[in-house]
Amino acid sequence: MTDHDLFPETIETERLHLERLDRAVPVRELYRYANGDAPHIDEVTEYLPWQPHATMNDTREYLEMIADAWANADRAAYAIVPKADEPQGGEYAGNGDLSVDWDRRTGTLGTWLRKPFWGRGYSGERATALLALAFDRLDLEVVAVTHQVGNEKSRRAIEKYVDRFGGRRDGTFRNFHAYRDGAVDAVRYTIPREGWTSNRPAELNVRFE
């Protein structure tokens, strides 16, 4: 297996289609949802480490970075697209990714969703798919996820799937992330392999392609 084969190009779940981001979303389309004038962009990015894209070149450079990380097997980033029978089916809803520290056998989850897709449980469904990728395909030992202190929406979403899969809250870490306005405190959670193994659904609706 080569590095290019480690990450599946697409992942199918019950309600979502995840597709390799740098090939799924054209620069112009991603810029439309990530620029400073995009609807709800201030709410979407309030607790995110990146600033809205000032120019389409920012978006192009971001997608090039994503492609390089994929080629180096450092990070698998996917476009999240609800399936046809979902509300706004077929629309680009946001991103989900798994970064990998191979030396520590640890993956880290990340995601953001456009506001119209909040509150549908897509974050948890995406997390389950990427946990399956981390443990079942990549043979990692731990998956971590963080949220900035004060981000209650992310806290609620994260705690649901962390509890479901036998994870735990590790604690609050000072100046854990370097965000655009300086260092911020973050709450970190981890799910170990044994937690996933013990709680993995017998009929897991996740397919790699």
Q: Output the domain CATH number for residue 170.
A: 3.40.630.30
Q: What is the pLDDT of residues 155-167, one digit of tens each?
A: 999 999 999 999 9
Return the pLDDT at 118.
97
Let me know: does 147 contact 158? Beta carbons within 8 Å: yes
Return the pLDDT at 2.
45
Residue with tokens 């450092």, as numbered in its chain: 74
Query: Residue 51 corresponds to which tokens in the numbers above?
Result: 């600033």
Residue 90's alpha-carbon distances to 9, 16, 18, 29, 205, in angstroms, are 17, 9, 11, 13, 19
Q: What is the pLDDT of residues 114-166, one digit of tens each?
A: 999 999 999 999 999 999 999 999 999 999 999 999 999 999 999 999 999 99
Range of the domain at 170: 3-208
Count of C-beta atoms within a 10 Å radius of residue 22: 21
Return the pLDDT at 178.
85
Q: What is the pLDDT of residues 48-61, one digit of tens each?
A: 989 999 999 999 99
**CA 156 to the chain's CA centroid:** 16
Return the pLDDT at 4.
53
Please state, for a pLDDT cut of 90, what percent of the chain lies above it: 93
Give the number of domains in the chain.
1
d(CA 141, CA 102): 10
Q: Put residue 175 in one of left, alpha, beta given phi > 0 → left and psi -120 to 50 → alpha.
A: left
Residue 208 has pLDDT above 80, yes or no: yes
